[in-house]
A and B are shown apart, each in its own frame.
Chain A
Amino acid sequence: MRLINRHPNPRLARVLTASPFVAVAVVYVIASTIRHAANPDDKLLPTIAQMGAAMWRMAAQQDMESGDYLMLNDTIVSLQRLLLGLGISLAVSFAIGVSVGMIPYLKRLFVPFINAFSMVPPLAILPILFIVAGIGETAKVSLIVLGTAPYMIRDLILRVEELPRPQIIKAQTLGAGDWQIALRVVVPQMLPRLIDSLRLSLGPAWLYLISAEAIAAENGLGYRIFLVRRYFAMDIILPYVAWITLLAFFADLGLRWLQHAAFPWFAGARAQ
């Protein structure tokens, strides 16, 4: 039998899924043990126990200065920024994407500009962003919007253009106007695609969030990582990175579930 036709049984599949994770963990523990044998205070590869202790301090104990639970506080603040940024991106890209995708005049007017603008690396024009948006919360949210919205807009325009032409013609034959076509034909089909777009934007959104928090902040997950990096506290950085990965993973999972639950027909439509 050809290799491409052979499938692992369910139990083996689970083992295969777990093995790279286990391998990384084992390599880590070995390397960490070697370094700690040479230097018990090694900072580069903290032991699992050290990371546990650091997390206990960050997550379960109140900060002496502020009385906050730092990790909880960082997480809430970062998620607020992320949600606000992505929310704005979503709204903007939906409005622009659908209208530009449908209307030839707008397409002429905006598509080349959006395509060019989406190529501008937002991090390279930060000083301008500072002048426009300050260096507070507005700037952080703006950076996320600037980093994710152009991509989502372009994506949505393409998705609108991909709609089968006969659908639009049929709707017109049945007497639908611009608004009716937009609301009854285009928008319902774009909503699940918007979730796809959002899922793919989660990665860049985290990247921009953490960049923004590295530049100027008083709290947040990225702030903490860049702060403790100054004294090489990998015992805090590594668990924070794992936590961010976990949050991003569950956000992705949540969106996939939402797509499945709210638009059950979409899986079939995509398969065509």
Chain B
Amino acid sequence: MGSSTLSRQNFLRGGAALAAAAATATKATPARADVKKHFKLAWTIYVGWMPWPWAAEKGIVKKWADKYGITIDVVEVNDYSTSINQYTAGGFDALTITNMDTLAVPAIGGVDSTSIITGDYSNGNDALILKDKTSFDAVKGQKVNIVEYSVSQYLLARGLQMHHMTERDVKLVNTSDADMAAAFETPAVTAVVTWNPIVLQILQDKKAHEVFSSAKIPGEILDLVIVNTPTLKANPDFAKALVGAWYETLGIMLSNTPEGEAARTEMGKLSGTDLAGFDAQLKTTYLFSNPAKAAAFTRSGKLVTTMEYVRQFLFTNGLMGQGASSADVVGIEFPNGKILGDSKKVMFRFTDEYMKMAASKSL
């Protein structure tokens, strides 16, 4: 799950983004990458990704990078969509992203990516909220304000499916996440699908009722760290340093100590809220604090089922690329060697290798 701010500021910054895109334009993503020493990880504000800026600030990322003799820049991108596009254009080596968006953008865009960290899944962070109505079925025939083509739409599609409806039973109104809370206050808006912290904010309104959330589809909206596969193959140390820094950070922030609380307070601040607000979002986020469990989840058949749902959803919505005749246009590879889709064109790989190394403390 991710937070795109398709907001006014970003609209105005569009020009700058375009210039940056042009700068990377001729720097095409190589099929075979070289060994290198300097890497860039891009992140955007979301509860499950806030460990990154904190770890960078506290020198944890540098410590692990030093251990492997490399340097890692941890770069904030203020707009989620832009971060994905920049990664796909070759501007970053690694990115925080959801499983769905990895398939929809870099994978379809021919940028082979490997997920090295299964960080968390949304366990209530994404929700369908109705005004004055308390049952899911009431959504039928309504206009739903939503960031179209985001994980919100996936959540809605899954909810409709579970209640024997389809997307044809509702009318979607594409609405910027930055304006979702304000939109809910207007009389014409009666149904929204959005993510945290917006969900928490909207639910403060007495008329708002959460009728479906990602807690009903646990483990399907996954937040990952992906690395460009050729870069990863040439530089496995980059992944080792990232994974090492990640689990050290999680260990600190989730501990029941003053240190942990201080870390969460600062992460809250970095994401524009406070300790209480951050902890409230953590409650609806299932963080895989234990690398062994994260690795086991990544190996599980459940992940294959989820990716099957995801790719069918993308295909149904025309997001598998021009002229795609089925969801099989690209391949998704799992740790046990199973491949969904075209095995000759694997563009999205899950690996549990680095999480296993973290679990056995061999990093």
Contact = CB atoms under 8 A, between A and B. Distances in A.
A232 B174 contact: no
Interface string A257-270: 00000000000000
Given A34-B26, A54-B322, A42 B11 contact: no
Interface in B130-189: 145, 147-150, 168, 171-176, 179, 182-183, 185-189
Interface stretch (B37-45, B46-54, B80-88, B348-356): B80-88
B6 A35 contact: no
B217 interface: no
B149 A232 contact: no
B108 A42 contact: no
Contacts of B168: 65
A130 B179 contact: yes
Interface string A40-69: 111111000010011001000000110000
Interface stretch (B28-36, B199-207, B266-274, B300-308): B28-36
B109 A38 contact: no
A16 interface: no
A67 B189 CA distance: 26
A45 B182 contact: no
A42 to B, nearest CB: 6
Contact of B183 (A40, A130, A223): A130
A134 B174 contact: no
Given A39-B28, A39-B29, A44-B89, A227 B174 contact: yes
Interface string A194-226: 000000000000000011001111100001001
B319 interface: yes
Interface string B1-34: 0001010100110000000010011101111000
Contacts of A65: 168
Nearest to A37: B28
Q: Which of B21, B29, B186 has the most CB of A within 10 A?
A: B186
A214 to B, nearest CB: 6
A185 to B, nearest CB: 42
B25 A31 contact: yes
Contact of A230 (B31, B150, B321, B322): B150
A74 interface: no
Main secondary structure on B side of the interface with A: loop
Q: Which of A44, A64, A231 has the most CB of B within 10 A?
A: A231
A134 B187 contact: yes
Contacts of A230: 4, 81, 147-150
B185 A131 contact: yes
A135 interface: yes
Interface of A: 31, 34-35, 37-45, 50, 53-54, 57, 64-65, 123-124, 126-127, 130-131, 134-136, 210-211, 214-218, 223, 226-227, 229-232, 235
B182 A232 contact: no
13 contacts: A34-B28, A35-B26, A40-B110, A43-B85, A53-B323, A134-B186, A214-B6, A215-B6, A215-B176, A216-B175, A216-B183, A230-B4, A231-B104
B188 A134 contact: yes
Contacts of B253: none
A135 B175 contact: yes
Instruction: Classify the secondary structure of A's interface with B.
Output: helix
Contact of A216 (B26, B81, B145, B319): B145
A130 B31 CA distance: 48
A218 B171 contact: yes
A64 B317 CA distance: 10
A235 B321 CA distance: 11
A135 B88 contact: no
A131 B108 contact: no
B291 to A, nearest CB: 31
B105 A231 contact: yes
B91 to A, nearest CB: 10
B92 to A, nearest CB: 13
A232 B105 contact: yes
B4 A126 contact: no
B97 interface: no
B25 A227 contact: no
B221 interface: no
Given A35-B28, A135-B183, A229-B81, A41 B321 contact: yes
B174 A218 contact: yes
Nearest to A35: B28
Given A31-B25, A130-B182, A215-B179, A231 B110 contact: no
A121 B147 CA distance: 25
A57 B322 CA distance: 9
B188 A38 contact: no
Given A38-B29, A215-B179, A126 B8 contact: yes
